[in-house]
């Protein structure tokens, strides 16, 4: 059981029991992937509904890719439970895939990582050398500090009772080319043999390659840096989307021209950055740097730019309404899309919410149509959910928030007919400018002079 010199052979013969803690958008495909690869899987979630649906062989999430993969019944190869005590003692390796959101004061909320760690460590068999791997995004040092503290409390010893490791998930929601079975992974572990063994194990899950990169802290840092770099590059094009219109230039023309250079990275300006990673992870690093007194001013500046975008768009909207003689506090705004990226229902940290807040603060009423997001999930104190954009007859301005195909392919001529003012703001630069103008809209583009 657990770590041993025969680990590599047991990976090869699929003779390992893998625990997966947290059956969300990362944990569920991971559990299914290892089951599919031939390992015994023990899946745990604190949500009884999730477990009940899985016990019934049903998909508890909204990704239809999993429908055909979910085992119809429990067996020695597939067990699901809300109980750590029932599942963990069996496991050789436990993968923890719980969320790490930010608190309202922008500090990282590690409560799920702490709780999951406490439950796993409290349930494992002493002396079994169970390998416990964190996959959640954390700032460098968290795995050791947080879980190391728990081990001390429980009088568990590393290299005797437990082996700790870190293997950040790199899954891209809604992108079938970058699911858990495709993405390259990195593994950090104190013990090099454990790191190499886990790399072999994850190699059975993903075709993207797995690299043992050294300490847990290096792997933790790598994950954060990936998202920090993305946040920074998006922030740059967003800052440019403010500068260029002020001097009469469309930012998209500039970025397309620059993209003809071999080493230019093409990013797209927009209403803001959402999701569980990019708007969140930089704060982890900013906090860690602040603790040691090292400046993180560039990373902080990037965050500030991206956070300012919903407010900038609200400001654009106020200017456009004024220029068209629409009284601001009577205005009805129709937001097209709510989730943070196209094709999925995920609304975590969506910039649509601060945008709606800013519009409401200016006295406007806000209606939302998103073909993916369950209307019950929308903040009804802030916005009115719609089952169809055509329900919003008499609106003054429509705003493309999320570039869902269903938004881009709307019957724009029909929608213009139900508008009080056919004003349209493309916050994602995805509309066919000529076609939309022909459909009767007065079109405004984020990052373009107006």
State the catalytic residues: 277
Tell me the C-alpha distance between 54 and 401, whole Å: 34
Query: Of the candidates 15, 55, 77, 226, which one interacts with a second copy according to CB under 8 A?
Result: 226
Binding status of residue 199 toward a second copy by CB under 8 A: no
Binding status of residue 295 toward a second copy by CB under 8 A: yes
**Cβ closest to a second copy, residue 10 vs residue 223:** 223
Query: Of the candidates 48, 155, 261, 381, which one interacts with a second copy according to CB under 8 A?
Result: 261
Tell me the C-alpha distance between 338 and 390, whole Å: 16
Question: Least separation, in Å, of the C-beta of 352 and a second copy?
Answer: 23
Q: List Cβ neighbours of 224 (8 Å cut-off, separation of 6 or more).
A: 137, 139, 140, 281, 282, 284, 285
Closest by CA position to 325, among listed 423, 447, 417:
423
**Cβ closest to a second copy, residue 358 vs residue 408:** 358
Q: How far apart are the first and last CA of the chain?
A: 67
Binding status of residue 178 toward a second copy by CB under 8 A: yes
Binding status of residue 73 toward a second copy by CB under 8 A: no
Binding status of residue 285 toward a second copy by CB under 8 A: yes
Size of the site for a second copy (CB under 8 A): 67
Binding status of residue 248 toward a second copy by CB under 8 A: yes
Rg (CA), the chain: 24
Binding status of residue 449 toward a second copy by CB under 8 A: no
Site string for a second copy, 153-172 (x = CB under 8 A): -----------------x--
Answer for the pair 268, 119: CB distance below 8 angstroms, yes or no. no
Binding status of residue 105 toward a second copy by CB under 8 A: no
Question: Least separation, in Å, of the C-beta of 311 and a second copy?
Answer: 12
**Near a second copy by CB under 8 A, which window of 47-55, 156-164, 181-189, 384-392?**
181-189
Question: Least separation, in Å, of the C-beta of 258 and a second copy?
Answer: 4
**Cβ closest to a second copy, residue 60 vs residue 188:** 188
- The residue assigned the tokens 């792997």 is 219
Tell me the C-alpha distance between 43 and 47, whole Å: 12
Tell me the C-alpha distance between 267 and 45, whole Å: 37
Binding status of residue 257 toward a second copy by CB under 8 A: yes
**Near a second copy by CB under 8 A, which window of 25-33, 217-225, 381-389, 395-403?**
217-225
Site string for a second copy, 125-144 (x = CB under 8 A): ---------------xx---
Q: List Cβ neighbours of 137 (8 Å cut-off, separation of 6 or more).
A: 100, 168, 169, 223, 224, 227, 276, 277, 280, 281, 284
Binding status of residue 207 toward a second copy by CB under 8 A: no
The DSSP result for 231-245, as a single string, is HHHHHHHHHHHHHHH
Question: Least separation, in Å, of the C-beta of 363 and a second copy?
Answer: 26
**Near a second copy by CB under 8 A, which window of 20-28, 60-68, 184-192, 406-414?**
184-192
Binding status of residue 260 toward a second copy by CB under 8 A: yes
Query: Of the candidates 5, 49, 246, 388, which one interacts with a second copy according to CB under 8 A?
Result: 246
**Near a second copy by CB under 8 A, which window of 7-15, 46-54, 104-112, 218-226?**
218-226
Question: Least separation, in Å, of the C-beta of 148 and a second copy?
Answer: 14
Region 350-379 residues binding a second copy, contact defined as CB under 8 A:
none
Binding status of residue 240 toward a second copy by CB under 8 A: yes
Query: Of the candidates 90, 193, 196, 217, which one interacts with a second copy according to CB under 8 A?
Result: 217
- The residue assigned the tokens 């003012």 is 421
Binding status of residue 9 toward a second copy by CB under 8 A: no
Query: Of the candidates 199, 302, 355, 423, which one interacts with a second copy according to CB under 8 A?
Result: 302
Residues lying near a second copy in the complex (CB under 8 A) are found at 140-141, 170, 178, 183-186, 188, 208-209, 211, 213-215, 217-219, 221-223, 225-226, 228-230, 232-233, 235-236, 239-240, 242-244, 246-250, 253-258, 260-265, 285, 288-289, 292-299, 301-302, 304-305
């Amino acid at each position: 059981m657990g770590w041993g010199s025969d680990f590599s052979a047991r990976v090869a013969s699929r003779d390992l029991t893998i625990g997966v803690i947290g059956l969300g958008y990362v944990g569920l495909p991971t559990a299914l992937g290892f089951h599919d690869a031939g390992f015994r899987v023990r899946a745990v979630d604190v949500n009884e509904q999730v477990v009940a649906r899985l016990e019934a062989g049903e998909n508890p999430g909204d990704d239809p890719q999993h429908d055909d993969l979910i085992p119809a019944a429990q067996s020695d190869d597939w067990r699901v439970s809300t109980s750590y005590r029932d599942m963990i003692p069996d496991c050789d390796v436990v993968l923890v895939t719980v969320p790490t959101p930010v608190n309202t004061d922008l500090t990282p909320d590690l409560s799920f990582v702490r709780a999951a760690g406490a439950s796993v460590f409290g349930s494992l068999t002493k002396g079994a050398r169970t390998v416990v791997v964190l996959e959640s995004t954390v700032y460098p040092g968290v795995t050791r500090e947080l879980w190391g503290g728990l081990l001390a409390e429980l009088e568990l010893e590393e290299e005797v009772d437990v082996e700790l490791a870190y293997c950040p998930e790199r899954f891209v929601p809604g992108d079938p080319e970058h699911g858990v079975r495709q993405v390259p992974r990195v593994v950090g572990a104190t013990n090099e043999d454990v790191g190499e063994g886990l790399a072999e194990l994850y190699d059975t899950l993903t075709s993207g390659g797995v690299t043992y990169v050294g300490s847990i802290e290096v792997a933790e840092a790598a994950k954060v840096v990936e998202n920090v770099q993305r946040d920074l590059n998006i922030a740059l094009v967003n800052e440019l989307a403010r500068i260029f219109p002020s001097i009469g230039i469309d930012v998209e023309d500039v970025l397309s021209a620059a993209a003809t250079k071999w080493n230019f990275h093409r990013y797209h300006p927009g209403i803001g950055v959402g999701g569980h990673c990019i708007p969140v992870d930089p704060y982890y690093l900013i906090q860690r740097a602040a603790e040691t007194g090292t400046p993180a001013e560039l990373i902080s500046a990037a965050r500030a730019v991206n956070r300012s975008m919903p407010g900038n768009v609200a400001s654009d909207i106020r200017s456009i309404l004024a220029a068209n003689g629409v009284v601001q506090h009577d205005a009805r705004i129709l937001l097209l899309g709510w989730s943070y990226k196209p094709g999925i229902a995920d609304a975590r940290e969506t910039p649509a919410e601060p945008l709606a807040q800013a519009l409401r603060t200016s006295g406007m009423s806000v209606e939302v149509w998103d073909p993916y997001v369950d209307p019950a999930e929308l903040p009804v104190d802030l916005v009115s959910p719609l089952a169809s954009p055509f329900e919003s007859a008499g609106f003054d301005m429509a705003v493309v928030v999320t570039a869902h195909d269903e938004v881009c392919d709307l019957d724009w001529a029909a929608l213009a007919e139900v508008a009080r003012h056919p004003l349209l703001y493309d916050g994602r630069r995805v509309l066919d400018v000529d076609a939309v103008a022909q459909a009767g809209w007065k079109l405004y583009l984020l990052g373009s002079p107006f």
